[in-house]
Amino acid sequence: MLTLDYIHALCLGGIVLYIWRREPPRLLLTPLMLLSFFVLYGVGNIIYFVGADDIDPDVRTSVTLCLILMWFGLVGGVELAGLTLPGWRAVARRSLRTWRSTPVTDDGRGNQLLAAVGIVIALVVWGVFIYTGKPNQIHTFFSLDLSSDKRDFRAEFAGGGGYLYQLLIASVAPFVSFLLLAKGLAGKNRYLLPIGLLMCGAALAGKIGTFQKVPWLVYLLQLMVVFQARRRLEFGVVRVIVFLLVLLVGVTLAAFIAVPDLDSTTVMEWLGYRFFEVNNEVVYQTMYVYPRFLPHTWGMNIGLVHALFGSGDLLSAHSRVATFFGADGATFDSFFIGDAWVDFSYGGVLVMSIVVGYVVKSVDLFVLSLGKRPLAIALLGSNMYGLFELQVTSAFTAFLTGGLLLIPLLVVAVTGLFNDLSGRSADGRSHSCKPPRAA
């Protein structure tokens, strides 16, 4: 045990107290982020280092120090969001106090437009799904008997349809499906329910068509969040048990599908490795390679920065790390502190942790400020995929592809545009109804 390990243990104890006093478990991003990070990169980090062999003590020190900086940065970002957004914070507190006793209300504005958008998106997703041959690909994928064949098949066909299609099925289509379902259940416009179910089928099919182990399961958990949030946000014992059972059954099924070599005696060992060790192993490997064998990239590992200031094609850090360890063509996706380390070392980890804490808490405050409305419930469900992305990949990927920041910004933009157009239409009608002025 290193001295930093004891400091990290104290930090984890402090995080438990912080969650208990400031962010009690609810169906909100901030407490779920802190809880999941505690399990995966607090407890998980300890489990990994206890069981790992041939660990470089210098790299272990770097990893542990980065985790300590992360905890301070996350809490600092969360508190900073509350201080800089006092209006949202005040409304959010009132909303939390009355959420359970308040019925879901829907004013019905824009429902016809939403229905049309939902039909169009569903047709696009189903169209691309069929056009790219996903049904036959899924049949072929299930018929493969070797894990290596399935891995190669997934690498070749997972990205079918292009980036926009992948973005659509990752975050946009799920959000629209949640909004349609929430509005259909809350208001008198029941015609939104079948459209919402059509969207659910399209989003789920698209996620299955990526051949990844978890996204389809995350979508089912998101649906559970949507239906649970219609009643209350707090976690009860029954809720926790139900969510954990669905998660356990889902990941076990995914494991047997993706890794046919597993049997009933080894699946739990494999799941323990996937949950607690592999993510921490990738963080360790990333910090082992950078900067000892490859220099810090100083922002050039970020796609947008590289597109503006870099030259040539971007070869991301997770691909470079995979190649270094002899896994050419694979991607060693790292927790967001790994990407921050690659770019800006310790300073990058601290700053990015503050940004993550600030963004996550700001999104929570924005959602709660909307009140118990279908839009808020849909955002609660949608944000969970961004949280999942944040647990396993870079912050920028979680913000954009995962929809953690993209979806709330789109909501703000579309709502503002809709209100502006509605206001102009109302002004036009009021002017047309005025009697002509006397000459």
Q: Give pLDDT tens digits for 114-164.
A: 999 999 999 999 999 999 898 998 888 888 877 777 877 887 877 778 888
User: How many whole angstroms separate alpha carbon 307 and alpha carbon 313?
Assistant: 9
pLDDT at site 424: 57
How many CB atoms sit inside 10 A of residue 5's CB? 15
Provide the CB-side half-sphere exposure for 113 (13 A, CA).
8
The answer, yes or no, to whether residue 436 has pLDDT greater than 60, is: no
Q: Give pLDDT tens digits for 226-247.
A: 999 999 998 877 888 888 888 8
The answer, yes or no, to whether residue 438 has pLDDT greater than 50, is: no
pLDDT at site 349: 94
pLDDT at site 331: 59
pLDDT at site 28: 95
What does the domain layout of the chain look like in residue ranges?
3-103+264-370, 111-229
Residue 298 pLDDT level (bands cut at 50, 70, 90): confident
Quickly count helices (H) and strands (E) in the chain: 21, 0
Choose between 31 and 263: higher pLDDT.
31
> Across all residues in the chain, what is the average pLDDT?
86
pLDDT at site 63: 93
Q: What is the mean pLDDT of the segment spanning 426-437?
A: 52
pLDDT at site 139: 86
394 Cβ partners below 8 Å, 6+ apart? 333, 334, 336, 338, 339
pLDDT at site 265: 67
Q: Which residue has the tokens 């239409």?
A: 425
The answer, yes or no, to whether residue 325 has pLDDT greater than 70, is: yes
35 Cβ partners below 8 Å, 6+ apart? 19, 25
Q: What six digits make up the tokens of 388?
A: 């999942």
pLDDT at site 355: 96
Most confident range (mean pLDDT) of 43-52, 104-113, 147-156, 374-383 is 374-383
How many CB atoms sit inside 10 A of residue 52's CB? 13
Q: Give pLDDT tens digits for 8-55.
A: 999 999 999 999 999 999 999 999 999 999 999 998 888 888 877 788
Give how far Cα 386 sits from Cα of 174, 379, 421, Å. 12, 11, 30
Residue 420 pLDDT level (bands cut at 50, 70, 90): low
Q: pTM of whole model > 0.85?
A: yes
